[in-house]
Amino acid sequence: MSGRKRLVNGEDDIAQVMRPGQEALAKFLHPVLTWLKEQAGLHRVAVLVYDALGRTCRVIATLGLSSPAPAEGLQPPAFCAELLQRGKDSPALLPVDELAEFAGWLKAIFPDEPFHSAMPLWRNDEIAGILLIDRWPSEFSSEDIRAVQLAGRCAAVGIERSLLEENSLRQQEALTTIRQIVQSASSPDPDTAFRDIVRAMCQSQGYERVSLYLPQGERIKEYTARRGCANEEAPVSVRELRLEELVGPPAALLSGAALSQQKLMVTEDVSGRPVVACPLRAGQQIVGVLELAPDSDRALSSQGQMIVEVLAEQVGLIVQNARLLAERERRLSELATLTNLAHAISAVLNRDKVSQLILESMMGLTDADSAALFLRAEDGLVLQASLSRQARENEPQERFNLEQAEAVMQSGAPLALAAPSPTGRHMLNLPLRVKDKLLGVVQLTRRAPAPPFALDDQRLAEALAVSAAIALENAQLYEETERRLAEVSTLYTLAQRMTTSLDLNQMLDSLVVILRRVINCRSCCIFLLDEQSGMLEIRAASGIKPKWQKEAKLRVGEGVSGRVVVERRPIYIPDTYQEPDFIFFDPEVRSLLVVPMITKGNVIGTLSVDDSVPNAFDPEEGRLLTIAAAQAAAMIENARLYESLKERARRLKLAYDELKELNRLKSEFVQNVSHELRTPLTFIRGYVDLLLEGALGELNEQQREALQIVSNKTETLTRLVGDIISLQRAEMASLELAPVSLADVIDMALRGAEAAAQEANLQLICKVPPDLDPVFGDRARLGQVLDNLIGNALKFTPPGGLIEVSVEDAGDYERVLVRDTGIGIPSDKLEKIFEPFYQIDGSTTRRFGGAGLGLAIVKQIVEAHGGQVGVTSELGKGSTFFFTVPKYRPAGG
């Protein structure tokens, strides 16, 4: 049998071995090794299996050994990892003698049966075991190597199954213990829960001693349970220690001396007995240490250590939950305090009262001795409010540090400073911020030797500062809103007065009276620029003597109002006595505020207020006056526009009346001329027909041709006069509306066009639904519309083309379409073809005759019916004219 066939058969044999019922790993591996020994011609094979943690290994199965292998757990050398990693990177047989120490370790295990090749067995990314073979790698053929690899994979699967069963047992044991611990730790009191935990672990796992070390502030709390007598609870002792009083693994783990990656430490206590210590973790932080003193080596095995780690993980969760619960209770208490303070602060809308309440709340929350509130102003910080506890006798008055507050405003971050000396003061500076806007700084101080402000003090104060900043901004917004409401009320009153009348003088007089009353000033004046003289003159004033109102005139650039016109900006004179060039119309004026009135980019005048005391006006009054000036300018412009519009309306009415009269005369003239032309045209046509018929004598050919031309032109002129009269009737006459069968009107129009269509070699098509609803219209007029549209199509469609008339439902209307395959209409002419007398080709050499009235008549008739007319067209491909007619709806239908 060939090697390949032998390998396939061997693989089938192994598949038979890997059946479910084989639970013992040794029994499973024995047939695998037997198959490998036969396939590769080996003398000795063995399998070493690592424990679940990968720390120790043991011989699990051998074939061909003359002496038994050791049954105890073996400690592989540390450098074995390097050899195994090489096998992971490139799975193959590895020569054992490449590392002499590894070969020596194997020699110590198998002194009489040397192994020359090794292949690592992997379980995911962890070592599962080692397959040992007595031959050198160089002695194997490719088929032998494949057999070894196949056997190695089967062995790894068996090891995986065995480890899963072992882990399942361990997990069941750990779950039972965890359940007992969780049940014991059900007490809401953390101290009672920790006592129950160590007692439950001591009794359920059979440890001599179980100790739990938990840091609490600067000290360590120790809970220790020792095994009691039979059927008795393990006694628990509790004590507090300093960190330096601890020894052994707990001291190393809690002080950070041990590696942070350390999971478990096995060492000896002061009496030389073995102990197991495991850190209790919350994320990357060690929250405690669990230390166990086992009564046997069972807890020191890999399985026992794994159980300890699982238990430590659960105890760590319980410790962390207890801490979180305590922290939650503390935070809830703080939150309740902060909520009450925030509600109290936010309930006040007066800025001074809010400031005092903020300082009182801050001092009560942080136990500060004094507090100050600095608010942002245009030129820096200003002290808004300060508060101190009752001063001691002979103690100097409290002083605050403005430089620190300004530093916090620059950085936007809190600043805490401890006292520089025993008699100094600790300080905490907190910014008051709403979103990205800094409103100010709260500065808290505490006398030494009291402790500095702790992180908890800063955290609480920062939390309160958020609500304080919002309350402070609300108070500022409330005050601003009150001011704005007063302004809006004033502006509304002004707008009301302006809208009640468009009389300019009356509106200006109302404006100055209202502003003088609202601003509470001595007087209010409006100067307007006279375009002819170029002078500023008072047009309205309140509070000044009539003498000054008549005499006060300024050139542009002269005086404060003249400067405002030139510079186009407000000017405020706080004290006129300090202005050497001030022009006094009235010596009582001490302060003056003037703003420009601008409309459409032009200064048309000024609005001013003055008072008999200096520094009478603030920025809010300046803003109000500026808005009022804008309104006044708009009011003046509107009044002027109103007068202009009245004049234009008068002129337009005269022009409209004149156009109406001209249109009436035009219609009468056209109608009279049309009727006057019809009579002579009738006689001309009659005599021409008599001549052509020979009634007045025989004609030669040349005379007959000339008379035929006269007859044709007479016919054309007659049609033109008829179209003009039809257009006049469409404009002037009323319709005789009644239910009309649109199908009958279309049929009559098509029959009337049949002869012309046959003569022009054109095809007429009718597409009218049989159940077409009647329309409400004038039968004769609708027939005229169809005659014009079909006649238009006949005129502009070359021989061989077609003309189609169809009807579509358009809701409350019927839409009639007349489509042809004619020459089409340019897109830029589509909007003009319905105008009277319009010709697409208006030249004297145009191919098609007509006066351009047919489509105008169609539009007049359709629109008189309440419908619409339109056209779509493409040059060279034809046109589609359409119009709509309302459907007939019986009364009550």
- What's the CA gap between 259 and 619, in Å, rounded? 68
431-443 b/e (C-beta count within 10 Å ≥ 16 → b): bbbeeeebbbbbb
How much is the pLDDT for 847?
Answer: 47
CA distance linking residue 46 with residue 31, whole number of Å: 12
Amino acid 766: pLDDT: 92
Taking only the tens place, the pLDDT of each residue in 411-422 is 888 888 877 755
Q: State the DSSP string of 170-218.
A: HHHHHHHHHHHHHHHTT-SSHHHHHHHHHHHHHHHH-EEEEEEEEEETT
Is the Cβ–Cβ distance between 461 and 366 less than 8 Å? yes
Q: Is the pLDDT of residue 11 over 70?
A: no
Of 725, 891, 722, 880, nearest to 815 by C-alpha is 880
Given the structure tokens 């009262």, which residue do they identify? 353
**Eight-class DSSP state of 853:** -
* Residues 229-251: tens digit of each pLDDT: 656 677 889 998 887 788 777 87
Distance (Å, whole) CA 299 – CA 790? 111
Say if CB 632 and CB 599 are below 8 A apart. Answer: no
pLDDT the model gives residue 21:
33
* C-alpha distances out from residue 574 to 52, 211, 566, 618, Å: 91, 83, 20, 10
List CB contacts of 260: < 8 A, sequence separation 6 or more: 284
Distance CA 394, CA 202 (A): 65
Confidence band, pLDDT 50/70/90 cuts, at residue 807: very high
- Position 168 pLDDT exceeds 60: yes
- pLDDT tens digit string along 516-553? 888 889 999 999 988 788 888 888 898 888 777 777 78
Six-digit token pair at 354?
A: 């809010």
The predicted model scores a pTM of 0.34
**The token pair that represents 845 in the structure block:** 């050499």
Give the β-pairing of 236-242 and 219-226.
antiparallel
With 60 as the cut, is the pLDDT of residue 135 above it? Answer: yes
848 φ/ψ angles, rounded to the nearest 5 degrees: -115, 135
Residue 47 class from Cβ within 10 Å (0-12 exposed, 13-18 middle, 19+ buried)? buried
pLDDT (0 to 100) of residue 9 = 40
Q: Is 420 helix (H, G, I), strand (E, B) or coil?
A: coil
Which tokens belong to 168?
Answer: 């399942």
Q: Which residue, 759, 766, 876, is CA-closest to 821? A: 876
The strand pairing partners of 123, in sequence order, are 126
129-158 mean pLDDT? 86
pLDDT at 257: 60
> Is pLDDT above 50 for 611?
yes
Structure tokens at 662: 């001209």
What mean pLDDT do residues 322-346 have? 70
Inter-residue contact 121 to 131 (CB < 8 Å)? yes
How far does the chain reach from its first CA to its final CA, in angstroms?
102
The whole-angstrom separation of Cα 431 and Cα 265 is: 49
List the 813-820 sheet strands across, edge first. Answer: 763-767, 802-810, 813-820, 878-886, 869-874
Say if residues 351 and 476 touch (Cβ distance below 8 Å): yes
Order of strands, edge to edge, in the sheet holding 370-377?
380-388, 370-377, 437-447, 425-434, 415-417
What average pLDDT does range 109-136 have in this prediction?
83
DSSP state of 74: B
Per-residue pLDDT reduced to its tens digit, 273-293 = 778 888 888 777 788 888 888
Reported in sequence order, the residue ranges of 202-298 that DSSP labels E, i.e. its strands, are 207-216, 219-226, 236-242, 265-268, 274-282, 285-294
SS3 per residue for 488-521: HHHHHHHHHHHHHCCCHHHHHHHHHHHHHHHHCC
Nearest CA among 762, 839, 748, 759 for reference residue 800: 762
CB 813 within 8 A of CB 887: yes
39 within 8 A of 45, measured Cβ to Cβ: no
Predicted local confidence at residue 85, as pLDDT:
63
Give me the residue label for tokens 């502009």.
Answer: 796
Angstrom CA distances, 821 to 301, 613, 752, 796, 798, stand at 103, 91, 20, 9, 8
- Give Cβ neighbours of residue 659 (< 8 Å, ≥ 6 apart): none
Instruction: Kindly tell me if the per-residue pLDDT of 756 is higher than 80.
Output: yes
- The overall longest dimension of the chain from CA atoms, in Å, is 164
Rounded Cα distance between 789 and 264, Å, is 104
**Measured between alpha carbons, how far is residue 131 from residues 136, 517, 682 in Å?**
13, 107, 130
Pairing of the two strands 763-767 and 738-740: unpaired
Task: Say what the pLDDT of residue 663 is.
Answer: 65
What span, in angstroms and rounded, lies between the C-alpha atoms of 181 and 619?
73
Q: Is 244 exposed, middle or buried (0-12, 13-18, 19+ CB in 10 A)?
A: exposed
Name the nearest CA neighbour of 216 among 350, 81, 326: 326
* pLDDT tens readout for residues 703-754: 777 777 777 667 666 666 666 666 555 554 467 889 999 999 999 889 888 8
Q: Which residue type is seen at 309?
A: E
Alpha-carbon distances, residue 368 vs 103, 325, 384 (angstroms): 74, 29, 18
- Please report which confidence band the pLDDT of residue 595 belongs to, taking 50, 70 and 90 as the band edges: very high
Question: Nearest-5° angle of CA 42, CA 48, CA 51?
Answer: 165
Q: Which residue has the higher pLDDT, 892 or 803?
A: 803
Sign of the C-alpha dihedral computed for residues 406, 407, 413 and 419 taken in this order = negative
**Coil, strand or helix at 595:** strand
CA dihedral 158, 162, 168, 170 (to 10 degrees): -150
Half-sphere exposure of 763 (CA within 13 A, CB side): 5
CA–CA distance, 280 with 313 (Å, rounded to integer): 6
pLDDT digits (tens, 9 = 90+) for 445-476: 888 777 788 787 888 888 888 888 888 888 77
> Which amino acid is residue 321, in one-letter code?
N
Check: CB of residue 159 under 8 Å from CB of residue 132: no
Q: What is the predicted pLDDT for the residue at 569?
A: 92
Enumerate helices (H) and strands (E) in the chain, giving the number of each: 19, 29
The residues, any chain, with a CB within 8 Å of residue 793's CB and separated by 6 or more, are 803, 818, 820, 822, 879, 881
Q: How far apart are CA 455 and CA 22, in angstroms?
A: 63
What is the identity of the amino acid at 879? S
pLDDT score of 814? 92
Of residues 676 and 810, the one with the higher pLDDT is: 810
Q: Where are the alpha helices (DSSP H) in 694-765?
A: 701-732, 742-759
Confidence check: pLDDT of 4 > 50:
no
